[in-house]
Amino acid sequence: MAPRAQKGSGRLSRGLLLLWAFLGTGLCHVDTEAKGFGQDGRTSPPTAKFNWSVQLIEEMYSNFTQNCWEFFVDLMSNVTASELCEWKVISRPYSLLQACLEGWADHLRYGYPNALAEQYIFQSHHRYFHNCTLEHQAYSDPPEDVLLAMIIAPICLIPFLVTLVIWRSKDGKAQP
């Protein structure tokens, strides 16, 4: 029998095999705590009964998130430079990246948000969306002639309207 050519990443298949072995035998018991990770209270690292299993889970999560990133980069390669700041165009790839990062963290019982996921999100913003800002047009005063007309028109209308009201009320007939 001829040897088969290896397809894909050897690291990924080794990680999946290790994941299957540990989850299948029940050696991998992971509990997450709500304690802060470093100074940031929003991220939490995984805690486990054995230190080596935490390292294994971190390595597997790192491998899976790298695949999430590569899929995101592939999706973003179809987006033109003029469309990079249009939410309708980028929302699907961006949401898929976030869902992939969060999904693998959930599957591995790894805290989310975590430092690695945040790194990929920041990397996406730095690489693709750094020129996307909300462009609000700065308000400025209108030209002087327009401003003068806007001020004088109501002032001139007031005496005309007062005269019109007085003239209409002087006809002497009682209003019903």
Which CATH number covers residue 61? 1.10.150.510
pLDDT, mean of residues 107-118: 90
Query: What is the number of domains present in the chain?
Result: 1
Report the chain's mean pLDDT, rounded to a whole number: 76
144: exposed, middle or buried (Cβ count in 10 Å: 0-12, 13-18, 19+):
exposed
Please list the alpha-helical segments (H only) found in the chain: 10-25, 51-76, 87-107, 115-128, 144-169
Question: Does residue 58 sit within a domain?
Answer: yes
Per-residue confidence (pLDDT) for residue 39, from 0 to 100:
42
Tell me, what's the pLDDT at 42? Answer: 53
Domain presence at residue 157: no
Q: Is residue 123 part of a domain?
A: yes
Name the least confident of 50-54, 117-121, 128-132, 154-158.
Answer: 50-54
Pull the structure tokens for residue 89: 């165009």
Task: Establish if 107 belongs to a structural domain.
Answer: yes
Identify the DSSP state of 23: H
| SS3 (DSSP) at 1 | coil
Task: Provide the 10 A C-beta neighbour count for residue 72.
Answer: 22
Print the domain residue range for 116.
Answer: 54-73+87-130
pLDDT tens digits for range 55-84: 888 999 999 999 999 999 999 999 998 888
Q: Are 32 and 109 in contact (CB under 8 A)?
A: yes
Is 30 contained in some domain? no
Residue labelled with tokens 């599957």: 107
> Does some domain include residue 145?
no
13 within a domain of the structure (yes/no): no
Per residue in 8-62, pLDDT tens?
444 544 555 554 444 554 444 444 443 433 444 455 555 544 455 888 889 999 9
Stated pTM of the model: 0.49
Determine, yes or no, domain membership for 81.
no
Burial class (CB in 10 A: 0-12, 13-18, 19+), 127: exposed
